[in-house]
Amino acid sequence: MTLIAEAKKMHFQEPLPLQSGEVLGSYDLAYETYGQLNPDKSNAILICHALNASHHVAGVYENEPNNVGWWDNMIGPGKPIDTNRFFVIGVNNLGSCFGSTGPKDLNPNTNEAYGADFPVLTVEDWVDSQERLVSALGIECLLAVMGGSLGGMQVLSWSIRFPSRLEHAVVIASAPNLTAENIAFNEVARRAIVTDPQFHEGHFYRYGVVPHRGLRIARMIGHITYLSDDVMNTRFGRALQRDKLALQEGHSNAQDQKYHYTTQDVEFQIESYLRYQGDKFADYFDANTYLLITRALDYFDPAKQHGGNLSQALRQTKAKFLIISFTTDWRFSPARSQEIVKALLDNRCAVTYANINAPHGHDAFLLEDARYMTVVKNYFEQL
Amino acid sequence: MILDSSKQIEILANLIPPNSRVLDLGCGDGAFLEYLIRERGCFGYGIELDDENVGICVKRGVHVLQLDLEQGLKLFEDQSFDVVLQIDTLQHLKNAEIMLKETARVGKMGVVTFPNFAHWPNRLSVLNGRMPVTKHLPYEWYDTPNIRVATFKDFQSLAAKNQLHILEAFGMNDNQRIGYFSNFRASTAVFKFTAQITSPE
């Protein structure tokens, strides 16, 4: 049975105070819901998204049958998060480019697009805005908040900021903060965007242009970090692009195995793949959103105000946790998930932890893996 | 963990004070931990590496942590549990002695069980020139996951070497506790111990 999703929007008039000290005036949040909220409103699960995703978590739109939600393998009727049982909420984060108020929207003070003037956001700000949506939907306590990667950081933040508003926290392929290497990757991506001549210091909308080049390179770098060396080697290895093209044209023995000795053309298949991913991304993603979201990742560090002590930061937490990591994820390695597990153990919290032996690197959290799906399914079945 | 009768579960559960905080190393499918939670009001976590077992534990609602015991217990603070269990786990560990020390460091009390290689049918088999294949040691020598074979007496000397105070030691056969000549008569060895100078009782 295909789940039909419907994008909704809620307007919030009350200004939102941000961690930076700035205030966001009125704003919209785009969201979707799946399944039915039960009479005592105890079956709601909030899904937090990562870098480039949105509120479109599951199902397809009636008039766009190919536009499948980003976590459709996890959420839906009969799936690990079974929408026959649970009321699932997908929300688009502020600053995004998919419906919630973001840099592309009009700044009411200038009547121009916010662009670079959109306030800098943090994970905490997102969680505060999500809490308002949850309250507006009449839900006092969420059964669970769940997310992967940056989404997992939001879950962690929920458990700290609103300890009595969630029963379960499901944190997948995430980390309690970014390492220097992770910040470094983000910075390279940001520099690629900011130094694109079409960026115009973030006000490119005025000029009717888009910093495609910067976005492409940002995405290419990001994409490398989401995969594992093994997966890249299995999928592409050192295969040459022209061999692939020749095969497609029907020349079965077309592998000439010869280099073309070019420095600028695509030679290896991996190059073609990254360029394709970059092009696709640059066509739909907003450059200012990319800067804002990677910055939110960099800033996230709930232990910071506790002298770096994560156990202290999680002291108020009441939720029961399910933590999942993937063995080949080097962007958010299992060791980082285990830091969260340790902090929860120190606080004598209920925690279940699965370290899934999957080859796909960080991307594994979005992919179908029987062990991964079983753990999530079994966890929710026993609730 | 191989506890093949409810009687065995009961015998071992009786070693664990009600409402204890328990860490079960190599908790298998989580059945024993679930029993301790349900019947004895314990709170606890199980450590298990096998994917299938982890899935079953999650289904039971047992807090399982998928960690490799060969890496030690670095996520756990000193004396942070009332009881640390190694039920039929020790014989699978390369670092059996380190894990015994870790068990005593993290737990105020440790409970260890393992197949007693000195059980008389095993002795008989070795006397006949063959490694034993029995209900409790069901594997051939070339495919056994039991990389450590030890006897009741061997453990006593390892415990002494590590300055562990044995609070209780007995053997167990299918459905009963063996009180004397355990090294000879029991298929399973059971030890309850503490690293503390004074016993917690």
DSSP states of A163-213: GGGEEEEEEES--SS--HHHHHHHHHHHHHHHTSGGGGGGTGGGGT---HH
Whether A335 and chain B come into contact, CB under 8 Å, resolves to: no
Which tokens sit at A18?
């941000």
Q: Is the pLDDT of residue A224 over 90?
A: yes
- Write the burial class of residue B145 (CB in 10 Å: 0-12 exposed, 13-18 middle, 19+ buried): exposed
Distance of CA A366 to the CA centre of its chain: 10
Q: Is the pLDDT of residue A327 over 60?
A: yes
pLDDT tens digits for range A148-181: 999 999 999 999 999 999 999 999 999 999 999 9
Q: How many CB atoms are located within 10 Å of the residue A104 CB?
A: 17
Chain A hits for B43, CB-CB cut-off 8 Å, are: 348
Q: Is the pLDDT of residue A244 over 80?
A: no
**Residue A18, pLDDT score:** 98
Q: Is the pLDDT of residue A348 over 90?
A: yes
Of B54, B60, B65, the CB nearest to A341: B65
**Residue A165, pLDDT score:** 98
Q: Is the pLDDT of residue B149 over 90?
A: no
d(CA A310, CA A292): 25
List Cα–Cα distances, B188 to A186, A213, B10, B27, B169, in angstroms: 56, 68, 15, 17, 11
Q: Is the pLDDT of residue B2 over 70?
A: no
Among A52-66, A105-119, B155-169, B170-184, the minimum mean pLDDT is found in: B170-184
Residue B19 is which amino acid? N
Angle subtended by helix axes A123-136 and A150-161, to nearest 10:
70
Q: How far does the CA of residue B69 sit from the closest CA of chain A (Å)?
A: 13
**Residue A249, pLDDT score:** 75
Q: Is the pLDDT of residue A77 over 60?
A: yes
Residue A260: closest CA among A246, A240, A233: A240
Model-wide pTM > 0.90: yes
**Residue A121, pLDDT score:** 98
- Strand-pair category, B165-172 with B177-178: antiparallel
Chain B hits for A382, CB-CB cut-off 8 Å, are: 58-61
Rounded average pLDDT over B139-149: 89
List Cα–Cα distances, A235 to A198, A238, A270, A272, B195, in angstroms: 34, 10, 9, 13, 53
**Residue B170, pLDDT score:** 95
Residue B139 is which amino acid? Y
Whether A381 and chain B come into contact, CB under 8 Å, resolves to: yes
**Residue B198, pLDDT score:** 55
Distance of CA A285 to the CA centre of its chain: 13
Residue A317: closest CA among A338, A281, A293, A341: A341
- Say what percent of chain A tops pLDDT 70: 98
Q: How many CB atoms are located within 10 Å of the residue A60 CB?
A: 17
Residue A369: closest C-alpha in chain B: B51
Chain B hits for A334, CB-CB cut-off 8 Å, are: none
| CB–CB contact B58 A355 (8 Å) | no
What are residue A43's phi and psi, to 5 degrees?
-120, 25
- Write the burial class of residue B132 (CB in 10 Å: 0-12 exposed, 13-18 middle, 19+ buried): buried
Catalytic residues of A: 149, 329, 362
Model confidence at B175, in pLDDT bands (50, 70, 90)? confident
Q: How many CB atoms are located within 10 Å of the residue A280 CB?
A: 12
**Residue B201, pLDDT score:** 47
Q: What is the CA radius of gyration of chain A?
A: 21
**Residue B199, pLDDT score:** 47
Helix (H, G, I), strand (E, B) or coil at A130: helix
Q: Is the pLDDT of residue B4 over 90?
A: no
**Residue B146, pLDDT score:** 87
- Say what percent of chain A tops pLDDT 90: 94
Which tokens sit at A49?
């998204």
**Residue A258, pLDDT score:** 85
pLDDT tens digits for range A98-138: 999 999 999 999 999 999 999 999 999 999 999 999 999 99
Q: Is the pLDDT of residue A296 over 90?
A: yes
pLDDT tens digits for range B78-119: 999 999 999 999 999 999 999 999 999 999 999 999 999 989
Q: Is the pLDDT of residue A57 over 90?
A: yes
